[in-house]
Structure 1
Amino acid sequence: MLDLLILGAFVLYSIGSGLHARGQASHGLDEYFLAGRRLPGWQAGTSMAATQFAADTPLLVTGLVATAGVFSLWRLWIYALAFLAMAFVFSAGWRRAGVLTDAELAEVRYSGRGVVALRLLKAIYYGTVINCVVLAMVLVAAIRIAEVFMPWHEWLPPSVYLPLQGLVVASGFAVGDSITGLAPAVAHTNSLVSIVLILAFTAAYSITGGLRAVVRTDVMQFALAMIGTALYAWFALDAAGGLAGLPDRLAALYGSDAAARMLSFTPPSGGEVLMPFLVLIGLQWLFQMNADGTGYLAQRSMACHSDLGARRAPVLFAWLQVFLRSLLWLAIALGLLVLYPFSPADAASPGFAAARELTFVRGIDELLPPGARGLMLVGLLAALASTLDTHLNWGASYWSNDVYAGVVCRRWLKRSPGPRELVRVARLSNLLIMAFALAVVVHLGSIQTAWFISLLFGAGMGAVLVLRWLWERINLQAELAAMAASLVTAPLLLFLLGTDPEREWLRLALMALVTTTVAVLAALLTPATDDATLGAFYARVRPYGWWRRTARLCGEDPRAPLRALGRPLIAVIAGTLSLLAMLAGAGTMLFSPSGVQSLGSWLLVGGGLALVPLWLAPLLASPARR
């Protein structure tokens, strides 16, 4: 009964938030997608963290720890560098640009005939292709969780269930093999019912209330998800024999050498593993489609009430995402290695990563008592909903603002659409995004494999997205060239090198080299963006970096933009080192064998604390505009 009350309260609060925000959201796209640009920074940052706390992420972490050990999580932790670069270098620029989507930025930043085409292409590529792949990954995780806890074939009467099953069989809908041994027709029907209900619940408030409702529910959803995760970590470690003896129990199961590798926060010393690892963490944070915050991170920054709020939001997000949540997920993943051991033969099997991902769901069912299990399930539903609502809202912003308003109405029909008309299109666009995501779901297997592929496709755009803020010479042709090179190179690399995780570093390195070279050559060999466009962008955004000529045209010191980059870069570097040092220090104190954790752990924590003033100062007072 308590579980049902918690679930009911969560559902009512979320739907109530959507209804409460409906009136304001209906006034126009700024209200619908940016909450009137009045969000406090802490709400925006918590919403970012809630969105990243998807149902698929803890499953991904569980699989990574089992397949490659704790050090493989640096693949996720290195994103702290991108998050903090977003905070100190790009977030205020996004807000000052005055755009509603990152695709719209193309018309503010570039000139030339292809600007509209680029805006349209980015709206479709990011808002539909990439966005729906991410949504599908989240829905695959939801299916795996729902199969265990939502047996619709037992709950629904035969008069209702059997016609649904017949419809599913006739349509050919399939989402992979059952994880609990159900017949395919039953498993696929249960999955479809679960997906439809989850999407209907999420759409009920996100479509109605827009970003304002999304953020309000995200804050509550994040709190629920964190409480549930903390309880899961407690019970998992308790069932595994407690935290203190965890290294010894892993050594007894897998051998001392294997256990040491599992628990190590540093990669093995052998060059065969070390070089690929260094390539991945050295490139991955930059060569990805959100390198400058493009996407829902930029949307949250643009929605903040001030430049200072826009800076604070990604910093809060980084600490919640990388530090706090990682320690809880790590405790769960290591506890599950003890409770559900595997053999070397299991590790060599093709479906090992997907099987280990599922132990996260199995642990919830078998380890948690009724009250805690209900809270964890509500937490996972909250995490799932917070990701779905963001990606639906964000994806719809492209279709309504860029495709419909920017191209169809203003360019083709030569008319300006009304604000309420655009909101209606935005709400319908949510349904379009959901339909595309469902179509992708049936083609996904392991979450880890899908994540690797999405990283590869996004890698081609990272460098040019960052450089467009820092270097005035980046132009329309550079971004188009990078996108074209990415779309051509990614399938070619997948065909030649496959999807083997061991070759991922090579795929990523080749993708980064090819696309960055193409983009820089295109920028240097094609006409520059015209002076009027660059001058207007510079005056509005006040970018950092290599803007010497534009600054001179605007009557300012040409050295000022590059000089101004110094303090933000110091804050980014200090903030990243502080966060990662404290994470590694706390992690080794908690999870490493007793001989490893002593002095080094304390030095890491102390060094992280000593760096705090260098990145905290810019967040306490808004710096003067140049």
Structure 2
Amino acid sequence: MQVSTTIPSITFVVANAASGQVSEGSVGDIGGMAPLDTIIIVVYLLGVVGLGLYAGHLMKKRSSSGESRDYFLAGGTLRWPMIGLALFATNISCVHLVSLAQSGFDTGLLNGNFEWMAAFTLILLSLFFAPFYIKSRVATLPDFLEKRYNRRCRDMLAVLSLVSAVVIHIGFSFLTGGIVIRDIFGVDLYVSIIVIASLTALYTIVGGLLAVVLTEAIQTIVLIAGAAIITWIAYDIMGGWEAMVASLESSGNTDKLSMLRPHGDPSGMPWYAILLGYPVLGVWYWCADQTIVQRVLGAKDENHARVGPLFAGFIKVIPVFIFVLPGLLAFTLASTGKLDLSPLTDSNGVVDSKGIYTAMITQLLPVGVKGIVIAALLAALMSTVSGALNSISTLTAFDLFKRFRPTTSDHQLVLVGRIAAAVALVVAILLVPVLVKAPSIFNALNNIIAHIAAPVTCVFTLGVFWKRANAFSAQWTMVIGAVTGVAIYTINVLEIDTPFADIPFMMMAFYLFVYCVIVQVVLTLFSGKPVPADSQALCWNSPLQPLRAPGWPGLGNYKFLSLALGAIMAVLYWIFR
């Protein structure tokens, strides 16, 4: 597919947040970017790459627990603040910044559920999954699956994890980031992707997980600051919360403030679909995806592994207000004439909301601030890609290469991991022309996850809570569940008229999960195959068992933090119900 390399100069109105005055400028003209903004962006990029390379130097200098463990798991030295910040940074990509703003414009705060529901899933990671991962001292989640079930389950999860890392974490991130940079600077889509890919690969491939986590900690701060700035400026121009609500009331769109929608809502995401469907996606993504959980695997001890995800859960409260709310503010700003969306409006008066975030950057932000927000976009892109590259190198080295050459030295494993990351980067770039055809990046991403998450969520959940779940049932559940999910997804993409076509993707995730649970339970009971004692040891005796670990005293105790996070989320949902 040929992607246009030129962006027409579009005249627009620039609103100055401080004075309320307006001036003219143009989108797509790189000369329109002030020197100060350019300097901020360049300094940020050089700073991140330099920090990553320095982390690589530290890793080599202190290599005491084995080169491969230092490279892939940071030598098991990560503390809870770095784990929490890194989890957040790896999760938040350009897809989130751009697409959540788009969804805020289209449907209001609804898609903020993907952020707030994550807090509950991170509680599950902290309470039930992280302790087993740390105690078993696994380098990868497929490694854990082999210990709980068998080698075939490990191989299948390794392949699925590699594919999801390349397509979901890297490919879609490249696409969204490239589109934003193209729209703002007028730079060719692929040129911008290759430049960012090269810079990210430089420090990630050299420095390993330590470089990834250190840079992600900085990128999280930049990301939150940049997103908060654009939200505050839009909020100030709008005139505050009351003015925004009044605008929504006058246009009959007060439902945009609701996070929990009734049955039959046009969005296809009523409250029960979120309640039933998100946990299926969430357990796979937050508890069983190597790209995310690798930060927990590098924890210093069990307490750090528990508290780190909870810290990330508290941070996940913020995105609704700094990622989704800007889109809703753009909707009300446009309806009151304070934001000019005419360049995004077709002849029928329909606004193409894909350009909402870019329009807000170019129209609402003063000189200097624009550079900070663009740096935040780059932070979101680079942190996600770097995390995925590190997980790809770990999976390839431990789960694929070392299987066939078990005597491979630490140095050779690191070399294999670095080569795998470089190859994955090239493959992800080559996939962009295919991914660019997706009409809605955020919906396309979640639709894919909804059809592949169920079997993984099933085998991990039953594996941790049901001692009788055996290897035979797990491996066939993964096969049957994956084939079923891919088949249904393909049928829907081809728009073949079937009963599946009208099922919202969140409910589809739930139905596929129930189907997989039935398959695994039936196969377990009918096969009658025993579960080895060492495999049963990787299963809780009861749901209350993981809560018996004392944890840290005081406010840092994982039990207190879990209750506090759950209570905060309950209150927020009550307010925005």
For the aligned pair, the TM-score class normalised by the smaller chain equals 0.7 to 0.9
Aligned match of 2:214: 216
Which of the residues 356, 361, 364 maps onto 2:361? 364
Which of the residues 384, 405, 411 maps onto 1:409? 405
- For the residue of structure 1 that corresponds to 2:242, the secondary structure is coil
Q: TM-score, normalised by structure 2?
A: 0.81
Aligned match of 1:32: 71
Aligned match of 2:56: 22
Aligned match of 1:442: 433
Matched, 1:583 2:572: yes
Deviation at 1:265, TM superposition (A): 3.3
C-alpha contact 2:288 2:460 (8 A) present in aligned 1: no
Aligned match of 2:516: 515
Which of the residues 177, 185, 190 maps onto 1:142? 177
Alignment of 1:402-481 (within 5 A): 402-405=399-402, 407-410=403-406, 416-444=407-435, 445=438, 446-447=440-441, 448-481=443-476
- Which one-letter code corresponds to 1:386 in the other structure? S
Deviation at 1:367, TM superposition (A): 1.2
CA distance in 2, matches of 1:18, 1:573: 32
Alignment of 1:21-100 (within 5 A): 21-23=55-57, 25=59, 27=63, 28-100=67-139
Which of the residues 484, 489, 514 maps onto 2:479? 484
Deviation at 1:496, TM superposition (A): 4.4
Aligned match of 2:235: 237
CA RMSD after TM alignment:
3.3
CA distance in 1, matches of 2:40, 2:95: 22
Deviation at 1:29, TM superposition (A): 1.9
Compared CA separation, residues 472 and 587, structure 1 to 2 (3 A):
same
Aligned match of 1:544: 540
Name which of structure 1's ranges 333-342 and 56-65 shifts more when overlaid on structure 2.
333-342
Which of the residues 190, 193, 210 maps onto 1:192? 190
Compared CA separation, residues 292 and 572, structure 1 to 2 (3 A):
farther
Compared CA separation, residues 575 and 45, structure 1 to 2 (3 A):
same
Aligned match of 2:554: none
- For the residue of structure 2 that corresponds to 1:94, the secondary structure is helix
- Which one-letter code corresponds to 2:414 in the other structure? V
CA distance in 2, matches of 1:306, 1:245: 49
Deviation at 1:25, TM superposition (A): 4.0
**Cα-to-partner distance string for 1:145-170 (whole Å, 9 max, x where unaligned):** 11122323xxxxxxxxxxxxxxxxxx
CA distance in 2, matches of 1:275, 1:265: 10
Name structure 2 gaps, 5 residues minimum. 1-34, 496-500, 552-556
Q: Aligned pairs, how many?
A: 516
Deviation at 1:441, TM superposition (A): 2.0
- For the residue of structure 2 that corresponds to 1:266, the secondary structure is coil
Aligned match of 1:619: none
- For the residue of structure 1 that corresponds to 2:120, the secondary structure is helix
Alignment of 1:293-312 (within 5 A): 293-312=288-307
- Which one-letter code corresponds to 1:69 in the other structure? G
Matched, 1:225 2:216: no
C-alpha contact 1:285 1:291 (8 A) present in aligned 2: no
Aligned match of 1:167: none
Compared CA separation, residues 301 and 505, structure 1 to 2 (3 A):
closer
Compared CA separation, residues 563 and 87, structure 1 to 2 (3 A):
closer
CA distance in 2, matches of 1:62, 1:272: 19
Name structure 1 gaps, 5 residues minimum. 153-189, 411-415, 548-559, 589-626
CA distance in 1, matches of 2:237, 2:399: 52
Q: TM-score, normalised by structure 1?
A: 0.75
C-alpha contact 1:459 1:508 (8 A) present in aligned 2: yes
Give me the identity figure in percent: 21
Compared CA separation, residues 271 and 386, structure 1 to 2 (3 A):
closer
**Cα-to-partner distance string for 1:263-296 (whole Å, 9 max, x where unaligned):** 1233136689898540332232135523534323
Aligned match of 1:3: 37
